[in-house]
């Protein structure tokens, strides 16, 4: 599980005494208050949420819409296991699914329009 400085967010490696991001001293007595654990599920939930928001725009160009929405679905699904970021994961999942449907519709309409123009 990755550990991060509570002050600046920089990653803290095991045995590190000083945060390389902000210079805060991390000794054994204050280590628990200066380090925040972020689980893989929390990272996945955050990533899924961000991709869900990006999909609000990405669906307009299916070339971008498909990878963004599919990755948003995958990351949000993994983030559903998170205890603290579950709501973000759900929002990201819903947005990603909705805009995957929009991307698919946009693709179909593009093909129909191209066939009618030919």
Backbone dihedral region of 40: left (phi > 0), alpha (psi from -120 to 50 degrees) or beta? alpha
What's the predicted TM-score (pTM) here?
A: 0.68
Q: Are 30 and 47 in contact (CB under 8 A)?
A: no
Q: For residue 36, name the pLDDT band (cuts at 50, 70, 90).
A: low
Task: Give the per-residue pLDDT at 30.
Answer: 47
Both tokens assigned to 65: 């819409």
Domain spans in the chain, listed from the N-terminal domain onward: 2-38, 40-117
Residues 7-35 have pLDDT tens digits of: 787 888 887 888 888 888 876 554 455 55
């Amino acid at each position: 599980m990755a550990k991060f400085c509570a002050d600046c967010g920089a990653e803290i490696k095991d045995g590190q005494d000083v945060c390389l991001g902000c210079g805060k001293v991390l000794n054994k007595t204050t280590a628990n208050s200066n380090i925040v654990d972020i689980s893989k599920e929390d990272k996945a939930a955050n990533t899924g949420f961000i991709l869900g928001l990006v999909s609000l725009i990405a669906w307009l160009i299916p070339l971008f819409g498909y990878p963004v929405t599919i990755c948003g679905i995958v990351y949000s699904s993994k983030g559903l296991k998170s205890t603290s970021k579950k709501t973000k994961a759900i929002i990201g999942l819903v947005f990603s699914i909705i805009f995957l449907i929009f991307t698919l519709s946009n693709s179909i309409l593009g093909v129909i329009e191209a066939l009618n123009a030919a």
